[in-house]
Amino acid sequence: MRTLLLHDDPADIRRAADLIQAGQLVAFPTETVYGLGANALDEDAVRSIFAAKGRPADNPLIVHISNIAMLANLAAELPDIALRLAQRFWPGPLTIVLPKHRSVPLVTSGGLQTVGIRMPAHPAARALIQRSGCPIAAPSANRSGKPSPTTAAHVMDDMKGRISAVLDGGICEGGVESTVICLDDAETIHLLRPGLISAEDLRPYAKQVYIDEAVYKQLAPDVKAASPGMKYKHYAPKAKILPVDAPDHAAFSDWVQAHAEKGCWCLLFDSDPEVPGVPSMRYGDDGKTQAHYLFLRFRELDAAGAKTVYVRMPGQTGAGLSVYNRLMRAAGFEVITV
């Protein structure tokens, strides 16, 4: 299959929309990462997403919309709290899991009676949805398990020859996938996957914000995931990722030097000194910066030939929790504690 590289302009957005309408797959930019899109209501098109990615069929997809009115044909119920959250955080990196409308195929929802929905902030994404005339189901546009793509070049590396087109909208600002929540009741937000909209951001809108245990540890094999990114190992480069939980840089540096081997690298905070004798890259001092650079650095480390990467552990509040979660999944929840 020939994969077209399209530009973020009206003519190419029309071409991309025509492909979506024809049941084809198109990767497109969002403010989080690039998504691999198909008509969310076309069962055959959605199945082709799973085939192109090598994605397990029980891993649900997120449905992307261009306006709130589209919820009427996707969600069987729209609680008041969901509408308030949508009005506050959309367009933006928040996915709300709701009871699905009968029009949403089970293949799109991973076999669940619920569906995750969001309205992306990237104007090209919303223009593509609007022009296509349908909601677009889209996981990240990478081979399953690999780091999510934040540039069109990343998508081409993973998907060239597997999909019809990539719509190039530049580098994604956010860098990690959207926050995913469900609503346990009218007053409780259940955070299933952390993103740039944090638990702290959500707390003014509910009496309680509960963070799912799967954010911090691996789900059991027999547990059905309610959200993408909860069950399987994800986000991993070819290099072995080893987060190091150290009280400070000095302790981190001492441990790495004592265990350094051929092909090892460090992923450091911007403010960290170098670790003597060990090559390094940096990914920021705060959660939002680390989120922006994390997957980009993973791909750069692979290109540099890294075999093992010792990563300075980020914080677990605000946007830092999303980075922590991605690191844990990339590492298979293996952590070195110093």
- String of DSSP letters for 257-302: HHH--TTEEEEE-TTPPP-TTS-EEE--SSHHHHHHHHHHHHHHHH
Structural domain harbouring 155: 4-215
**pLDDT at residue 304 in the model:** 96
Residue 158 maps to a domain: yes
CATH number at 155 reads 3.90.870.10
Residue 229 maps to a domain: no
The number of distinct structural domains making up the chain is 2
Residue 222 maps to a domain: no
Shared domain for 80 and 183, answered yes or no, is yes
Residue 228 maps to a domain: no
Provide CB contacts within 8 A for 51, sequence distance 6+. none
φ, ψ at 107 (rounded to 5°) = -65, -35
pLDDT per 10-residue tile (average), the chain, 338 residues:
96 98 98 98 97 90 97 95 96 98 96 97 98 97 92 97 97 97 93 97 95 85 62 78 96 96 96 97 97 97 97 95 95 94
Shared domain for 202 and 267, answered yes or no, is no
Tabulate helix, strand, coil % of the chain (nearest 5): 30, 20, 45
Report the 10 Å Cβ neighbour count for 231. Answer: 21
Shared domain for 154 and 257, answered yes or no, is no
Residue 234 maps to a domain: no
**pLDDT at residue 222 in the model:** 63
How is 214-253 classified by DSSP, letter by letter? GGTSPPPTTSPPSSTTSSS--S--SSEEEEEE-SSHHHHH
Shared domain for 122 and 204, answered yes or no, is yes
Which amino acid is present at 186? A
* Residues 143, 145: Cα–Cα separation, whole Å: 6
CATH number at 256 reads 3.40.50.11030
Residue 300 maps to a domain: yes
What the block records as the tokens of 238 is 């070819």
Q: Give the burial class of 297: count Cβ atoms within 10 A of its Cβ; 0-12 exposed, 13-18 middle, 19 or more buried.
A: buried
**pLDDT at residue 53 in the model:** 94
Q: What angle do CA 32, 269, 302 make, to 5 degrees?
A: 65
Shared domain for 22 and 142, answered yes or no, is yes
Shared domain for 200 and 85, answered yes or no, is yes
Residue 231 maps to a domain: no
**pLDDT at residue 276 in the model:** 96
Shared domain for 78 and 114, answered yes or no, is yes
Cβ atoms of 20 and 38 closer than 8 Å = yes
Shared domain for 68 and 204, answered yes or no, is yes
Shared domain for 41 and 160, answered yes or no, is yes
**pLDDT at residue 233 in the model:** 59
**pLDDT at residue 231 in the model:** 53
Shared domain for 179 and 285, answered yes or no, is no
